[in-house]
Amino acid sequence: MIRAFRAEWYKLMRPGIIIGGAGTMIALAILTASLIFANAQAPGATPTQGGGGGGPGGPGGLPATAVLAQSTGMVAAFGFAGALIGVVVLVLFAQSVGNEYRDGTLKMLLSREPRRLRLLAGKLAAMSLLVAAGILAAFAAQTLVAAGIAGARGIPTSAWWTQDGWDHAAAVVSRTYVVALVDGLLGTALAVLFRAAAPAIGVGIGYTLVGENIFLLVWREGQNWLPGQVMQAFSRGGTPSLTMAAASWLVLGYAALFVLVSGSVFWRRDVAG
């Protein structure tokens, strides 16, 4: 597994992968923080939308400055970027695994490490480490941008740096990482099933962004069971219809399912074709 990890890590260290993967995560986090903090309802402004005549919401349902000034404000924008980061990770995993089939390099890797499950585990471990580094870098970048814009707009940030602020930030970043990994495992399973990156990415993104919304039109209870909805509830720390405990078990179940599918197919099926 160590050799497989090193081989995958060497491949992931190419500038194109780093910029396209971790760089995209950072860019999305910065963009989200910029938009949310720049457009938050200013102190003393007349509430427009989402505030309910003085509630915490700002225009378009964005957090108001009063919310951004709380201890949760440090990662108020990062939570919005989490779903987009998950899509990036899905693409990264699907592309890394699917391209091995396309380029014919999988046979060479298996000649050096014939134990297929160890090879797959090493690849997943290396990609997971890159995702962790990307998410931490994205969090750091969005925090700097958010603090800068907050200072320019007169939004106090003293509550961010308290113990409660750091605890909440750690929880949000950790949940974002877990959700991103599950998205990555979905991308891996699709890449192994299709033996190609392009259809895996197309199906994965299509289902994530469009498919579940179609299912929800005819199955309202799907918000408590469909993987995308479950991961959204988990990333938010639970919802009124799905507790954090239930969401955690379901996320774990989906992760195990994706690993089982990709592992069993990768282990049994011929790599030719």
Would you say 44 and 154 are in contact if contact means Cβ atoms under 8 Å apart? no
Q: Report angle CA 86, 89, 91 to the nearest 5 degrees.
A: 115
How high is the pLDDT of residue 43? Answer: 54
How high is the pLDDT of residue 182? Answer: 96
The sign of the torsion formed by the CA atoms of 94, 95, 96, 101 equals positive
Neighbours of 162 (CB within 10 A): 12
Surface-to-core class of residue 199, CB atoms within 10 Å of its CB (0-12 exposed, 13-18 middle, 19+ buried): middle
How high is the pLDDT of residue 272? Answer: 62
Provide the 8-state DSSP code for 22. Answer: I
How high is the pLDDT of residue 42? Answer: 64
Tokens representing 13 are 């260290």
Tokens representing 46 are 């007349």
- Provide the b/e sequence for 88-100 (b: ≥16 CB within 10 Å): bbbbbbbbbbbbb
pLDDT, one tens digit for every residue, the chain (273 residues): 788 888 888 888 888 888 888 899 999 999 999 999 998 876 555 544 444 333 345 545 678 888 899 999 999 889 888 889 999 999 999 999 988 888 788 888 887 878 888 999 999 999 999 999 999 999 999 999 999 999 999 899 999 999 999 999 999 999 999 999 999 999 999 999 999 999 999 999 999 889 898 999 989 888 899 999 999 999 999 999 999 999 999 999 999 999 999 999 988 877 664
Q: Report angle CA 24, 28, 29 to the nearest 5 degrees.
A: 120
Q: What is the reported pTM? A: 0.89
Would you say 51 and 62 are in contact if contact means Cβ atoms under 8 Å apart? no
Q: Is 57 helix (H, G, I), strand (E, B) or coil?
A: strand
Would you say 129 and 18 are in contact if contact means Cβ atoms under 8 Å apart? no
Q: Report angle CA 207, 194, 191 to the nearest 5 degrees.
A: 70
HSE toward the beta carbon, residue 228, CA cutoff 13 A = 19
Would you say 145 and 33 are in contact if contact means Cβ atoms under 8 Å apart? yes
Q: Select from 56, 51, 69 the least CA-distant residue to 149.
A: 69
Q: Determine the distance from the C-alpha atom of residue 142 to the mean position of all C-alpha atoms in its chain, rounded to a whole number.
A: 15
Provide the 8-state DSSP code for 159. Answer: G
- Pairwise CA distance, residues 232 & 153, whole Å: 30
- Pairwise CA distance, residues 214 & 80, whole Å: 22
* Phi, psi for residue 4 in degrees, rounded to 5: -65, -40
How high is the pLDDT of residue 48? Answer: 46
User: Cβ neighbours of residue 61 under 8 Å, at least 6 residues apart?
Assistant: 49, 50
Would you say 183 and 85 are in contact if contact means Cβ atoms under 8 Å apart? no
Would you say 176 and 82 are in contact if contact means Cβ atoms under 8 Å apart? yes
How high is the pLDDT of residue 64? Answer: 87
- Pairwise CA distance, residues 172 & 68, whole Å: 15
